[in-house]
């Protein structure tokens, strides 16, 4: 866009055109996201009801609601719920410990940076780390065998509980990062006012800090849930024999797209995931708004 001083006639004649020009500057963004974000999403939603010949079909939905697929969905939901709760509780505890340190302190900043790293630790590498710890030739496996005579089940990491243990590893730091700001938002005056008015530490936590933190805590928990539900790489690296969770089933469905009876299945699965995550994120946004109102 060039800068041109507007003269009287110029202004009136070209104003609508100039405004259009200004808006046109946003075109690249909308075009790009249109192709690479909106279009794929539409393809999923539409594709869930579209057979390979292009006709309308409910085959995808039927497959989605089959007992086997429902079990897989249940697995995903339970796994996400458990790791969300575990991550939320332990993460909140660690976040609280961090919050008691002054916010500028080097130790706290380093620990927070470290949490960022662990939270982003790619799924594949994380799986390797845990296999190196609890796998057949793992460090802890060996140590436990030598010192306590306890044999860790070699297949543990390929089971749902095993995957949950690995998920917890990145859920906890994620909780720390997401929840720490809420803890920092607790004003010292609220604690002192509670004491002043005769309240004990229990009073403070149960009637002041607890209720104030509740929306943020729940919101963060939901975020953890969505994060766990969407995760793929970790499970793919740990489990090789079966498809236990929805993302793995999607991969399998994509690979077998051209098989009989697999029309629209991958898309239906994807649609199911969108619905779950969208619900969770909507609830998260609502809770965040509530939390912001109070701690502002």
Ranges within 227-256 binding other proteins (CB under 8 A): 227, 229-234, 236-237, 246-247, 250-251, 254
Report d(CA 220, CA 118) in Å as an integer: 17
Answer yes or no whether residue 182 interacts with other proteins by CB under 8 A.
no
Choose which of 69, 267, 287, 288 interacts with other proteins (CB under 8 A). 267
Region from 6-14, 56-64, 111-119, 149-157 binding other proteins, contact rule CB under 8 A: 111-119
Nearer to other proteins, 159 or 232 (CB): 232
Name every residue whose Cβ is closer than 8 Å to that of residue 57 and which is 6 or more positions away in sequence.
49, 50, 51, 263, 264
Calculate the CA 179 to chain-centre distance. Answer: 14
Cβ atoms 127, 234 nearer than 8 A: yes
Q: Which stretch binds other proteins (CB under 8 A): 50-58, 62-70, 126-134, 156-164?
A: 126-134
Q: Which stretch binds other proteins (CB under 8 A): 50-58, 63-71, 80-88, 165-173?
A: 165-173
Q: Which residues pair with 56 in a beta bridge?
A: 50
Q: Between vectors from CA 42 to CA 38 and to CA 45, what angle results, nearest 5°? A: 140
Contact 223, 291 (CB under 8 A): no
Nearer to other proteins, 85 or 274 (CB): 274
| Binders of other proteins in range 133-152 (CB under 8 A) | 133, 136-140
Q: Which is nearer to other proteins, 160 or 233 (CB)?
A: 233
Within positions 209 to 228, which residues make up the interface with other proteins, using CB under 8 A?
Answer: 211-212, 223, 226-227
**27 burial via Cβ count (<10 Å: 0-12, 13-18, 19+):** exposed
Region 44-83 residues binding other proteins, contact defined as CB under 8 A: 44, 47
Task: Rule CB under 8 A: say whether 286 interacts with other proteins.
Answer: no
First to last CA, the chain: 39
């Amino acid at each position: 866009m060039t800068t041109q001083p507007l003269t009287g006639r110029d202004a009136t004649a070209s104003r609508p055109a100039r405004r259009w020009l200004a808006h046109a500057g946003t075109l690249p963004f909308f075009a790009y996201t249109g192709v690479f974000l909106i279009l794929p999403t539409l393809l999923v939603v539409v594709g869930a009801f579209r057979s390979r010949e292009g006709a309308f079909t409910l085959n995808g939905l039927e497959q989605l609601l089959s007992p086997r697929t429902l079990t897989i969905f249940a697995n995903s939901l339970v796994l996400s719920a458990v790791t969300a709760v575990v991550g939320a509780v332990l993460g909140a505890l660690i976040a609280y410990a961090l919050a008691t340190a002054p916010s500028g302190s080097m130790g706290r900043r380093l620990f927070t940076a470290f949490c960022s790293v662990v939270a982003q630790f790619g799924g594949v590498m994380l799986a390797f780390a845990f296999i190196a710890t609890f796998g057949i030739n793992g460090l802890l496996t060996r140590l436990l065998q030598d010192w306590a005579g306890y044999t860790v089940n070699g297949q543990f990491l390929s089971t749902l509980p095993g995957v949950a243990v690995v998920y917890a590893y990145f859920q906890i730091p994620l909780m720390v990062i997401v929840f720490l700001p809420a803890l920092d938002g607790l004003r010292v005056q609220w604690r002192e006012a509670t004491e002043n008015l005769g309240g004990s530490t229990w009073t403070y936590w149960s009637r002041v800090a607890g209720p104030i933190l509740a929306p943020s805590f729940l919101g963060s928990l939901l975020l953890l849930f969505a994060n766990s539900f969407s995760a793929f790489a970790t499970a793919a690296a740990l489990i090789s024999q079966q498809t236990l969770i929805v993302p793995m089933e999607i991969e399998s469905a994509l690979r077998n797209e051209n098989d009989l009876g697999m029309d629209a299945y991958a898309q239906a699965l994807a649609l199911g995931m969108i619905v779950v995550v969208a619900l969770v994120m909507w609830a998260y946004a609502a809770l965040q708004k509530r939390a912001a109102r109070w701690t502002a």
